[in-house]
Every structure is written in structure tokens, then in C-alpha cells.
Chain A
């Protein structure tokens, strides 16, 4: 440890405005994404999990024939086509809500947030970093899911621009809402060690009752009503609207895609999540 020399140059005028917040936010995105892909368990349970499940479901259920086929077995769509929207929806929930919920709770537990709290990093830059990491990893996840579906299972992706437009807004609204809700629920675990145990099981149940792994119409009506309160059911429904043939709309609970419902419920959750974040997020529990 030789002396830390270099005479202090006259401090450059320090600017603490919006430009700096955005610049540091961008630096955080790079840093966060790098850290994300270095944590093996996160990569598996939030990034690759839907990909693995799509593969398993497509292979395992293909023997049951196409979904929505005519009585003679013709027509309909492959199991892979049928599961793709659900797996994308699950991926949105995992990459957004589960990832950030567990991640931030662990950062609170292991001292990362306390350290950052002592630096001149704006809270907003930290959130930009988290949102950017979610967006980068989630887009990569969606691309991998679609490539797997198309190349391995011959799924035909829609060709109509309006279908892709639907996909785009449902995806963006879904991922932003999921990320914001992830930040909001990161306060729930009492410690970093319990983070995964507190956050993953409820979200897993949500995936089972929201028409991701099981067809929504298989659920009893009361369970459908419960699931309809939560955002995942609507993300999955929006994804089906974007990626399945329109003939499948009749299989939905209301007999239509109900995209207005998707927009309204997700919009409400987004606003609720933002308010909860604003009210509850602290770098550290001040008097623990």
C-alpha cells in the first residue's frame, strides 16, 4: 500500500442535475446487467426457466395432438404455439417482478443498498439501472423463447402488423408493471436470506392460476375471479391476443380478447406499484 498521492486538482464544477442522473442510470444498466448474468441461480430461475418449460411442454404434450383441432385431428395449432404466449407472460413476471423483488431484497440484506446510500448516486439512477437490466434481460428472453418456438417446434409467428402492435404494447406495459411491482414487493422479506422463500412461492401460485401453465378455462370460476384481480392473467391474455389466431378468442373467459380490460387492469397495477414504491422505498431501514 504505497501512498495515495496525486495532488488534488481543483474540483471540477460538480453538476447534480438530470443529465447526471440519466448518465449514471445508463452506467447502472451496464453494471446491473453484467452482475445479473454472473449470478447463475438468477439466470436459471428467472431467465431460462420459461425457456426450459416451453421445451418440456412442447415435447411432452405434442402427443396429445394440436390444440383447437377439428374432430378429425386436422387444423388447430401445435402445443408449442399454444404455450408460447403463456411462457412469454411467465417470463415477463419472472424477469420483472420475481427478479427485482428478490434482487432488491437481497441487496437490502447484504449491504449493497447501504453502501450505495452513502454515495452520491441518485435513487432515480438506481431505478433506471434496475429497469434497464429488466428490459435488456427480458427482451433477450422473449427473443430466445420465440426462436426456440420457431426453429425447434416450427411455430408460425404472426405476420400481421396489428398483431405485433398488440404484442408491443402488452409487452411494454406488462414488463414495466412487473418491474415496478417487483420493486414494491422487495420490502416484504425481512431479510435477504428469506427473499427467495417469501417472493417465489406466491408468484408460482399466481402462474398456475393465471392461465400460464394450465389453460385458464380449466380453473373453477371462483379461482378465475381471484386470478383476474392480478396482472399476470391479463398479461397472458394480451399475449394470446397477439400471438394466437383470432379464432381462439372464443376460448377466453368473456369470449373476446378484452384488450381494454388488459390495458385497464395493468394500468391500475402500474399506478398502485408506483405509489407503493414512492411511499415505501428507502435505501436502508433507518432504525433497524
Chain B
């Protein structure tokens, strides 16, 4: 048995012409770990994952997946990984069972088809053609095809997009059971609760750079955990971050009297994540000039935060 990490990435770079999609990213994923890659759309997480899967060439840096360079992927290597891609649009003229049976035959040591069917909750759809399934059901077929080969390492690129809350929870159970069997899992997701539920560690990527990595509960700097005071005045919703929320609120009330919609919030994972991304984008905006700054992150915080 080799003791090398499941995934090792050093100074990974990927550029398309003048655009740098991934810019010097380094991390390691241990065997058996569930690892989440977080980041806004276009941050470079799918590019990173597709380089690990062997789908894309890299422009620079070192990558090792299950002890091999994905650039020189062999069939033996492919038999040890499972991939759930972000989007699929196949014609789907086969039934769920036919598709799973066919893909199982491609692997040397597949899981039994019936076991996988029930694991993804599609037993009663086994004889249905894939094109007749709903979006969420098709996504479950994708997941089933990703795990049918009994992979040591499973890549999941936004696996639960289009799932209803119950399906998402069932999917989490499936991922936990795979993890208990020792499968290493690399997950990209937009859903921070998903990352918090499933992953041992997470990395945040923004603007092609890795801006933080660690156990999900420890992401962000001490600054990111600074509480937020929110209220509404005649100008609309306001917010202020302060390490002394009590004093701030006292001053506020002394100055303006009772204010509407007052709340003090300890930043949630989502807030911390958005803070990280905002900081990274502001920094990038400063080096690139104002044109480089995307949507207003303050907006993002206040709308997202309103749910928590």
C-alpha cells in the first residue's frame, strides 16, 4: 500500500491566452478524506477539478492523483476513480438499469447494480429510460455511474444542483456511507451547508487563487468572525462589523433612538465564505484596477444573510 496522499497539487496554473483561470494553487487531499472546493462561479474550481480528472491540460505546476500524473492517465488509473460531471445532456435512450449494467461492465470490480440503484433511490425507475427522468433523477443516475466502479477516489462536481431538500439529505447519507467505506471524495459545491455537512476540510478558491484551506469550522481569519450589526434607517438596510457589538448598538441607539430591524449576527459559514471571497476580489480589483471588480459583495452578504 502506498502512503502518498490521494491528491497532491503544487503551484497549479492554467491559462487561456492572457486569462489565468488557475493561478498557483497548492493543496493535498489525504486518502479517505472528504474534501470540498468552494468558490464563486468562474473562480477556477471546475477547471482545477477537471485537471485532476485528466480532462484538461495544465499550463504549469505539479499534479499527482492516486500516485499518477492525470496527464498520462491509463485505463488502470481510470478504473480507480469515479467522476460525476457538472452537466450532462445525453440523449438517454437507455433505461437506468441498462446504463448502469453497461457501465458496471467497464470496471474490473464494480458494485452490484441493484445495490447502487437502491443507494441512489432509483429502484422503482430501473426500467425507465433516462430521458424520461426528471432533472434531479438524472442527476442521481450521474451519481450512480460515478460510484458503480467502486472508485477509490470520487469527484463530485456540484452533484446536488436541482435536488429537492429531501433528495439532498439522502444524497448526503450516500456520500457519508461511501466515506465510511474509505472512499476519498472531492466535492465542489455552491452549497455551504453541504460542505459543512460532508467535508473534513474545505478550500476556498476565488479568482483562480486558493484563499483559504482548512477544516470547515475554521475557515476565515479572526476578522471574518467579527460580528455584524444590521439595522434599517431612512436610507435602507445598513450594516457594520465590529468586535464590540454591544457598545456599537448602545451608541447607535443613543444617537438615533430605537432603530428598525436591529440584529447582531455572528457570521455563519456562508458569511465567512462571502467575506473571504469579497476580500480576495477586492484585492484582485486593486491590482487589476476597478474594472476587475465583479458584483457587489456587500449586496451578496445582505441578501444571503437575510436567510440565516
Q: Report the tally of A-B residue pairs with Cβ distances under 8 A.
A: 119
Residues of A within 8 A of B171 (CB): 1
Q: With both chains docked as a complex, state the minimum distance between the C-beta of A96 and any C-beta of chain B, in angstroms.
A: 20
Q: Is the CB of B109 within 8 A of A39?
A: no
- In this assembly, does B253 line the interface, its C-beta being within 8 Å of a C-beta of chain A? no
Q: Given A112-B90, A286-B56, are A2 and B150 neighbors across the interface (CB < 8 Å)?
A: no
Q: Mark B61-100, 1 if CB is under 8 A from A, else 0.
A: 0000000000000111011010101011111011000100
Q: Given A24-B105, A111-B85, A114-B85, are A4 and B53 neighbors across the interface (CB < 8 Å)?
A: no
- Which one of B85, B119, B145, B180 lies within 8 Å of A1 (CB-CB)? B119
Q: Is the CB of A11 within 8 A of B109?
A: yes
Residues of A within 8 A of B181 (CB): 4, 7-8
Q: Mark A2-32, 1 if CB is under 8 A from B, else 0.
A: 1111111101101110000000100100010
Residues of B within 8 A of A143 (CB): none
Interface size class of B (residues with CB under 8 A): 35 or more
Give the docked Cα–Cα distance between A5 and B118 (Å): 10
Residues of B within 8 A of A4 (CB): 111, 115-116, 119, 147, 174, 177-178, 181
- In this assembly, does B120 line the interface, its C-beta being within 8 Å of a C-beta of chain A? yes
Give the docked Cα–Cα distance between A4 and B174 (Å): 7
Give the docked Cα–Cα distance between A114 and B89 (Å): 11
- Which one of B108, B116, B174 lies within 8 Å of A11 (CB-CB)? B108
Q: With both chains docked as a complex, state the minimum distance between the C-beta of B30 and any C-beta of chain A, in angstroms.
A: 19
Q: Which of B174-199 contact A (CB under 8 A)?
A: 174, 176-178, 180-182
Q: Which of B157-214 contact A (CB under 8 A)?
A: 167, 170-171, 173-174, 176-178, 180-182
Q: Is the CB of B75 within 8 A of A120?
A: yes
- In this assembly, does B248 line the interface, its C-beta being within 8 Å of a C-beta of chain A? no
- In this assembly, does B149 line the interface, its C-beta being within 8 Å of a C-beta of chain A? yes
- Which one of B91, B106, B177 lies within 8 Å of A5 (CB-CB)? B177
Residues of B within 8 A of A24 (CB): 105-106
Q: Given A16-B75, A111-B87, A111-B90, are A118 and B55 neighbors across the interface (CB < 8 Å)?
A: yes
Q: List 5 A-B contacts (CB under 8 A).
A: A1-B118, A5-B115, A11-B109, A39-B93, A120-B107
The 3 nearest A-B residue pairs measured at CB: A3-B177, A14-B108, A4-B119
Measuring CB to CB, which residues of chain B are less than 8 angstroms from any residue of chain A? Answer: 16, 53-57, 74-76, 78-79, 81, 83, 85, 87-91, 93-94, 98, 102-103, 105-109, 111-112, 115-116, 118-121, 129, 145, 147, 149-150, 167, 170-171, 173-174, 176-178, 180-182
Besides A31-B102, A111-B88, A118-B54, 16 new A-B residue pairs in contact (Cβ under 8 A), listed by A number: A1-B121, A1-B174, A3-B119, A4-B119, A4-B178, A6-B112, A8-B182, A15-B108, A27-B102, A35-B93, A38-B129, A110-B88, A112-B90, A115-B88, A115-B90, A115-B145
